[in-house]
Amino acid sequence: MESPEAVAHAFVEAINRHSPPGIAALMTEDHLFIDSLGNAMQGREKMRSAWVAYFALVPDYRIALSETYRSGDIVVMLGIVGGATRGQAWQTPAALRAEIRVSQVAAWRVYADNEPIRRVLAATQNEPGV
């Protein structure tokens, strides 16, 4: 069985490869995702579809980790997330919390300032062809 850190890092690598099938393979069937605003989504198949949609919005989304901490089956990773949305680059510091269960991610919580991407979306909302 892989260590919780190895599973969490493999999940980040699948995200960085933009691989919804790879991400889903590392999720428990009842996977829980909670975003920075506290919005929750549960279920592997729902999250696979959500990742497809997110990569369509941010096709070069990337997580760059700088630190990892573990307590039992909980892994917290710190770093920078970002990408380009509608041609405008953005990035923000982030904390990512993974709960690992039997070598899969049971819960993934993102703590990040969403303002950079909200600004891009607001600025491009009324552009022709957007």
Residue 115 banded pLDDT, cuts 50, 70, 90: confident
What is the pLDDT at residue 130? 47
> What is residue 113's predicted lDDT score, i.e. its pLDDT?
84
Q: List C-alpha distances in Å: 66 to 75, 76, 130.
A: 13, 11, 34
Please report the domains of the chain, with CATH numbers, ordered by start residue. Answer: 4-124 (3.10.450.50)
Task: Say if CB 3 and CB 68 are below 8 A apart.
Answer: no
What digits encode the pLDDT tens for the residues 83-105? 998 888 989 999 999 999 999 99
Half-sphere exposure for 68 (CA within 13 Å, toward CB): 18
pTM of the predicted model over 0.85: yes
- What pLDDT digit, counting tens, does each position of 47-79 carry? 999 999 999 999 999 999 999 999 999 999 999
Percentage, residues of the chain above pLDDT 70: 95
Q: How confident is the model at residue 116 (pLDDT cuts 50, 70, 90)?
A: confident
